[in-house]
């Protein structure tokens, strides 16, 4: 029991430190060009020419918070995967391999059905119309999905769950689109 | 952020501010976590990298959106999504 606890603590510390380091590297990389004369990263109020690469001082604490949360979520993800895989091995041991195919078909159908009908629980939101066509990285970069909504409206959940994974990640990363996948 | 876009965003947030019952991002993160965990290990080719990025990005974006309610002039949730994705990848 003690050994298990020690191993878990070690894993958590390891995960958090790695996550913090990665987060810090990303921040530094994003902040390129914002170094002051002393070679330190400059954290200054936004509103300058390239506001996306400038941070305020307290944001670093939020980044650390996300790094800790993300590290724990990542560890939990691996831990759950490991246990499910071991359970699967026990269940399918000695059975015909065809059962694995049936399992794959069943689980994939279930997941696809759930993800397809999940957006039903969410309301339609009016699509914004911006006159400033110069902002290519803003909402213009998003690939909205109407789902069952009328013309000029879109479903936020469908926009996330019914688009290819890479597109969804890009949409989550998109700048200047605060509020579009928000509290509803 | 342009004035037009900020006006729209503020309008959108104010419109839904009282309706705190559920959130698109919380539901999406939880649902995607469960789906990814269930699907991994099936007898089909699948990986952990992109699902991890998805979970982390949506989690980070959620934190960013919450912070945006507090500091709309400073916070850009897209950046927080990037940090979240790298954090979850680091945790694996």
Give CA–CA dist B4/B71, Å, rounded: 18
**A34 three-class SS:** coil
**B contacts of A181 (beta carbons < 8 Å):** 24-25, 28, 58, 61, 65
Mean pLDDT of the B47-63 span: 90
Q: Do B58 and A160 touch (CB under 8 A)?
A: yes
**B contacts of A168 (beta carbons < 8 Å):** 54
Provide the b/e sequence for A126-158 (b: ≥16 CB within 10 Å): eebeeeeeebeebbeebebbebebeeeebbbbb
Give whole-number Cα distances, B68 to A51, A74, A160, A182, A183, in Å.
15, 25, 20, 10, 11
Report percent pLDDT > 70 for chain A. Answer: 57
The yes-or-no verdict on residue A35 having pLDDT over 50 is no
pTM confidence score: 0.71
The yes-or-no verdict on residue B39 having pLDDT over 60 is yes
Q: What per-residue confidence (pLDDT) applies to A60?
A: 87
Chain B interface, mutation test: which of A164, A176, A178, most B Cβ atoms within 10 Å?
Answer: A178
Q: Do B78 and A172 touch (CB under 8 A)?
A: yes
CB within 8 A of B16, min separation 6: which ones? A182, A183, A184
Q: Which of A18-27, A65-74, A156-165, B67-76 has the lowest mean pLDDT?
A: A18-27
Of A66, A157, A178, the CB nearest to B27: A157
**A contacts of B36 (beta carbons < 8 Å):** 77
Residue-range domain boundaries for chain A: 2-94, 96-184
For residues A139 and A129, the answer to whether their CB atoms sit within 8 Å is no
DSSP A75-129: HHHHHHHHHHHHHHHHHHTTS-THHHHHHHHHHHHHHHHHHHHGGGGS-EEEPP-
Of A56, A173, A184, the CB nearest to B24: A184
ipTM of the complex: 0.76
Structure tokens at A38: 């002393």
Report how many helices (DSSP H) and strands (DSSP E) chain A contains, helices first: 5, 2
Phi, psi angle pair for A32, to nearest 5°: -55, 135
Give CA–CA dist B72/B82, Å, rounded: 18
Of A15, A20, A70, the CB nearest to B59: A70
Tens digits of per-residue pLDDT, A84-135? 989 988 988 888 888 889 999 999 999 999 999 988 888 888 876 655 544 4
Q: What per-residue confidence (pLDDT) applies to B8?
A: 60
The yes-or-no verdict on residue A40 having pLDDT over 90 is no
For residues A157 and A114, the answer to whether their CB atoms sit within 8 Å is no
- The answer to whether residue A111 neighbours chain B at the CB level (below 8 Å) is yes
């Amino acid at each position: 029991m003690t050994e298990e606890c020690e191993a878990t603590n070690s894993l958590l510390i390891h995960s958090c430190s790695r996550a913090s380091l990665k987060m810090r590297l990303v921040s530094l990389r994003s902040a390129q060009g914002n170094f002051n004369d002393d070679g330190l990263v400059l954290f200054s109020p936004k509103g300058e020419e390239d506001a996306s690469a400038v941070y305020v001082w307290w944001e670093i604490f939020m980044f650390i918070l996300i790094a800790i949360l993300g590290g724990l979520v990542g560890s939990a993800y691996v831990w759950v995967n490991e246990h499910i895989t071991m359970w699967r091995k026990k269940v399918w041991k000695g059975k015909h391999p065809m059962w694995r195919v049936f399992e794959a078909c069943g689980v994939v159908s279930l997941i696809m059905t759930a993800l397809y009908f999940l957006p039903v629980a969410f309301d339609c939101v009016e699509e914004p119309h911006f006159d400033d066509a110069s902002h290519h990285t803003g909402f213009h970069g998003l690939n909205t999905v109407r789902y069952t909504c009328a013309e000029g409206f879109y479903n936020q959940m469908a926009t996330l769950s019914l688009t290819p994974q890479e597109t969804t990640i890009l949409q989550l990363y998109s700048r200047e689109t605060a509020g579009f996948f928000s509290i509803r | 952020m342009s004035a037009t876009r900020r006006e729209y965003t503020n309008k959108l947030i104010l419109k839904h501010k009282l309706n705190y019952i559920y959130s698109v991002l919380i539901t999406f993160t939880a649902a995607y976590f469960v789906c990814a965990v269930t699907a991994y290990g099936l007898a089909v080719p699948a990986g952990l990298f992109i699902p991890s990025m998805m979970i982390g990005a949506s989690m980070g974006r959620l934190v960013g959106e919450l912070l945006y309610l507090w500091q709309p002039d400073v916070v850009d949730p897209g950046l927080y999504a990037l940090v979240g994705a790298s954090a979850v990848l680091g945790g694996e």
